């Protein structure tokens, strides 16, 4: 994985965060088949369901210039969300607590088709998480400003 954008992110990642990222081989294959540029990689916990039956799935978040890709840890399932399908991204948390430490960082994803918003916990290291979500917000904003222009994303599920 030397010399790739993914390798660069993994080298820069705090050790605790890097240990929670899985599937580096799969990440290498995925990056080799993508035309869009990786802008962030972080650990992610995806929350689904209602308050009575909430489930959480851990994985690796790969944010690119055109989409969000999440590789689930246990099932190897892949979730792909093109920015063109996203109505709004919102960051919740990540601020410094009164008596030390930081709040967890959550990325709230509202999709255009009226589906229930997604809530993803990003990163285990607050500084890395904040850096990652800022890169995601910037990439989404650029995609919106360009009208979704750029290279048509290929199908990462074929990797």
- What's residue 148's pLDDT? 67
Residue 158's pLDDT is: 45
Scanning the chain, the segments in alpha helix (DSSP H) are 5-12, 15-20, 24-32, 126-145
Domains of the chain: 5-150 (2.30.29.30)
Task: List the chain pLDDT tens, one digit each, 159 residues.
Answer: 556 888 899 899 999 888 888 778 888 888 988 888 999 999 898 876 655 556 678 889 999 999 999 988 878 788 899 999 999 999 998 888 889 888 899 999 999 887 788 889 998 888 999 999 999 999 999 998 888 654 444 444 444
- Torsion angle of alpha carbons 48, 105, 124, 95, nearest 10°? -160
Alpha carbon distance 23, 25 (integer Å): 5
């Amino acid at each position: 994985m030397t010399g790739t954008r993914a390798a660069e992110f993994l080298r820069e990642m705090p050790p605790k965060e890097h240990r929670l990222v899985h599937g580096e081989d799969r990440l290498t294959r995925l990056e080799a088949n993508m035309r869009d540029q990786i802008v962030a990689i972080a650990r992610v916990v995806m929350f689904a369901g209602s308050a009575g039956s909430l489930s959480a799935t851990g994985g690796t978040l790969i944010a690119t210039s055109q989409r969000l890709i999440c590789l689930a840890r246990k099932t190897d399932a892949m979730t792909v969300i093109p920015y063109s399908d996203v109505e709004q991204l919102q960051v919740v948390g990540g601020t410094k607590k009164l008596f030390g430490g930081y709040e967890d960082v959550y990325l709230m994803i509202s999709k255009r088709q009226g589906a229930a918003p997604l809530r993803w916990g990003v990163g285990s290291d607050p500084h890395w998480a904040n850096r990652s979500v800022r890169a995601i917000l910037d990439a989404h904003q650029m995609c919106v400003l360009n009208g979704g222009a750029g290279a048509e994303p290929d199908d990462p599920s074929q990797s």
